[in-house]
Structure 1
Amino acid sequence: MVPWAGAALWMLNPLLVVWLTLAAAFLLTLLLQLVPPRWLPSCALFQDLIRYGKTKCGAPPRPAICRSFDVPKRYFSHFYVISVLWNGFLLWCLTQCLFLGAPFPDWLYTLLRILGAVQFRERVEGENKVASVHVRIAGGELALSAFLVLVFLWLHSLRRLFECLYVSVFSNAVIHIAQYCFGLVYYVLVGLTVLSQVPMDGRNVYVVGKNLLMQTRWFHILGMMMFIWSSVHQYKCHVILGNLRKNKAGVIIHCNHRIPFGDWFDYVSSPNYLAELMIYVSMAVTLGFHNVTWWLVVTYVFFSQALAAFLSHKFYKSKFASYPKHRKAFLPFLF
């Protein structure tokens, strides 16, 4: 690791603070759910904010004021519409920079600087000759890594939008308006987080050489394979869930909950959440394993998905007496 990297690694820029705060908040929330209920005072609003969909059925009775803030769970599709449009725009801007040499728009460049985007030219000029070589190489790898991760994020959002529209069968389940607003902001923030990892040279992207593909490293290939593998399994899980409410002809016949079987459902109650985590891990691999900001994103995803999986697992166990006892909530054989 180059000398400046160690210091920069732990510098708390705004994105680090945001993702660290979110990860800590969901870790605390998960731990509170593991505590016996009698040890904690009941708070209907708190439970309402952390549960959505079917898991609201297992929560304490909901006051009328809480129900007034409900929106349909099928509005999940709005998250992915925003993500496809916004992250598609960011991907277009990055593509223009990488392949056509066009600079970022002023407002986007300013925003990225506020969020902690690195100016590699300043780094290189401040290093000795040996270290600057490592910086330039790292800059080339980071440019390709960020490009691939942004492509992954856009493809992931596009697939999830397709699943929301054509695969999933939504019941009359609801989410809180606060959760809905958070979901809209989330994918905007994730896209900016990826783009802020791009090494900057003024308003342009810092790239070594003219051929970006020459910066390909083994972890780019590994990350791509992990992304495809995780995405395929998540799609399979959503198909299994959707088919529980359809007949063999593909016609929706009910909106009740049933026990899913097949694929990763043989091991955990919420394999779609596990696959979501693995998708983000694949992006961390693509970024070269050592990107602290993205590992904080992964940490947030881990705790948020673990919380949702834990609540979903409790719902299944309470609703179905014959629910498989060997099946864990989130991590096979562990949790």
Structure 2
Amino acid sequence: MPAALSAFWLLLAAAFLAALLLELLPALRGGPRPGLFQDLIRYGKTKSGCEQRPAWLRLLDVPKRWFSHFYILSVVWNGFLLLLLIQALFLARPFPIWLQDLLSALGGASQNQDVGDKHLSALLVLMLLWLHSFRRLIECLCISVFSSGVLHIVQYCFGLGYYIVIGLTVLCRVPANVSNGEDFFMQICWYHTLGIMMYIWASVHQHRCHVILANLRKSKSGKVVNLSHSIPFGGWFERVSCPHYFAELLIYVSMAITFGFQNFTWWLVVMYVLFNQALAAVLCHEFYVNRFSCYPTHRKAFIPFLF
């Protein structure tokens, strides 16, 4: 188990759980919450709904449309890692020395460790991660309509770092000198099929959510007519305020399934995604409820019927 990476993801999950609890439990708030804290957990419309922010905090804003930078980086970086993994598995080319040293420092699998069907699992998960980033990039560039919303520069830098570390987390399951292309596809198991099917299902629904949100600002001809916020209807929006966040969680769960349920570090990633997306959903739900008096009362924030 990659101890360093496991500790990293556990720490992140704990930090976002603490932030979520501070938002959910009034007894923990103990009075006004610090402006910097709110600035670091809010972005886009949830940040604009805050009280007047100090000028020095506004100096640290970057446009929310820069979200596309996360996916550009992920497509390039994780695509590069995917290429190296394919070469290692099918062409018997070992990882570059710098990557071997980096993975070793992060607690990756030893070169002689027998990891069985985890070679195929790692390849599939890295492919799914790359496809997810590519789809989100296309959606950001061609579908989504961004308003003048902003995010904190720390959030921006965190997002860039996240997509670098997430790919390395996948590769840490693969010995640096492994090559077993001859019997590679004999490793296919039922959980690979289940994970991929769940990934496709969740991705389709997330895409539909993003289309619904974008169409709120477009005419029937597809022309952008406003940048205001409206109540979304249709699809999973009938049950929760942020179904695209719920779909994001399901996508990461599908990758955990593709790993065969046994990758403890990846389950910590799932835990981080759970608390991260739950926090964002709570803030978004709060924004909708406060802004629209006619907002559907039966909608949950994040998980249908539960939360």
Give the TM-score normalised by structure 2: 0.97
1:238 aligns with 2:238: no
Shift of 1:288: 0.6
Equivalent in the alignment of 1:174: 150
Q: Match for 2:169 among 193, 196, 202?
A: 193
Equivalent in the alignment of 1:330: 302
Instruction: State how far apart, in whole Å, the 2-side matches of 1:187 and 1:237 are.
Output: 22
1:29 aligns with 2:19: yes
Shift of 1:140: 3.0
Shift of 1:211: 2.6
Equivalent in the alignment of 1:253: 225
Q: Match for 1:93 among 78, 84, 87?
A: 84
Q: Is the 8 A contact 2:111 2:177 kept in 1?
A: no
* Aligned AA (2:169): T
Equivalent in the alignment of 1:294: 266
Shift of 1:118: 1.3
Instruction: State how far apart, in whole Å, the 1-side matches of 2:49 and 2:227 are.
Output: 18
Shift of 1:57: 2.5
Runs of at least 4 residues off by over 3 Å: none
Shift of 1:120: 5.6
Instruction: State how far apart, in whole Å, the 2-side matches of 1:25 and 1:330 are.
Output: 19
For residues 91-145 of structure 1, give each alpha carbon's deviation from its aligned partner in whole angstroms, at most 9, with x where no partner exists. Answer: 0000000111111000001111111111262x5xxxxxxxxxxxx5xx2310000
- Secondary structure of the structure 2 residue equivalent to 1:210: helix
Instruction: State how far apart, in whole Å, the 2-side matches of 1:298 and 1:23 are.
Output: 9
Shift of 1:219: 0.2
Shift of 1:239: 0.3
Tell me the C-alpha RMSD between the 2 structures: 1.3
For residues 282-329 of structure 1, give each alpha carbon's deviation from its aligned partner in whole angstroms, at most 9, with x where no partner exists. Answer: 000000102110000000000000000000000000011111100000
- Secondary structure of the structure 1 residue equivalent to 2:197: helix
1:305 aligns with 2:295: no
1:19 aligns with 2:6: no
Instruction: State how far apart, in whole Å, the 2-side matches of 1:61 and 1:255 are.
Output: 21
Instruction: State how far apart, in whole Å, the 1-side matches of 2:109 and 2:179 are.
Output: 10
Equivalent in the alignment of 2:177: 204
Q: Is the 8 A contact 1:19 1:296 kept in 2?
A: yes
- Secondary structure of the structure 2 residue equivalent to 1:247: coil
Comparing 12-21 and 173-182, the one that deviates more: 12-21
For residues 11-41 of structure 1, give each alpha carbon's deviation from its aligned partner in whole angstroms, at most 9, with x where no partner exists. Answer: x711011100000000000000012286234
Contiguous gaps of at least 5 residues in structure 1: 1-7, 124-135
Shift of 1:60: 3.1
* Aligned AA (2:6): L
Equivalent in the alignment of 2:244: 272
Instruction: State how far apart, in whole Å, the 2-side matches of 1:82 and 1:69 are.
Output: 21
For residues 126-177 of structure 1, give each alpha carbon's deviation from its aligned partner in whole angstroms, at most 9, with x where no partner exists. Answer: xxxxxxxxxx5xx231000000000000000000000000010000000000
1:221 aligns with 2:193: yes
Instruction: State how far apart, in whole Å, the 1-side matches of 2:106 and 2:33 are.
Output: 38
Equivalent in the alignment of 1:127: none
- Secondary structure of the structure 2 residue equivalent to 1:326: coil
Equivalent in the alignment of 1:129: none
Instruction: State how far apart, in whole Å, the 2-side matches of 1:315 and 1:40 are.
Output: 20
* Aligned AA (1:204): N
Q: Is the 8 A contact 2:300 2:306 kept in 1?
A: yes
Give the TM-score normalised by structure 1: 0.89
Instruction: State how far apart, in whole Å, the 2-side matches of 1:32 and 1:180 are.
Output: 22
Q: Match for 1:283 among 234, 248, 255?
A: 255
- Report percent identity of matched pairs: 61
Shift of 1:180: 0.4
Instruction: State how far apart, in whole Å, the 1-side matches of 2:121 and 2:285 are.
Output: 36
Contiguous gaps of at least 5 residues in structure 2: none
Q: Is the 8 A contact 2:48 2:149 kept in 1?
A: no
Instruction: State how far apart, in whole Å, the 1-side matches of 2:111 and 2:85 are.
Output: 16
Q: Is the 8 A contact 2:256 2:267 kept in 1?
A: yes
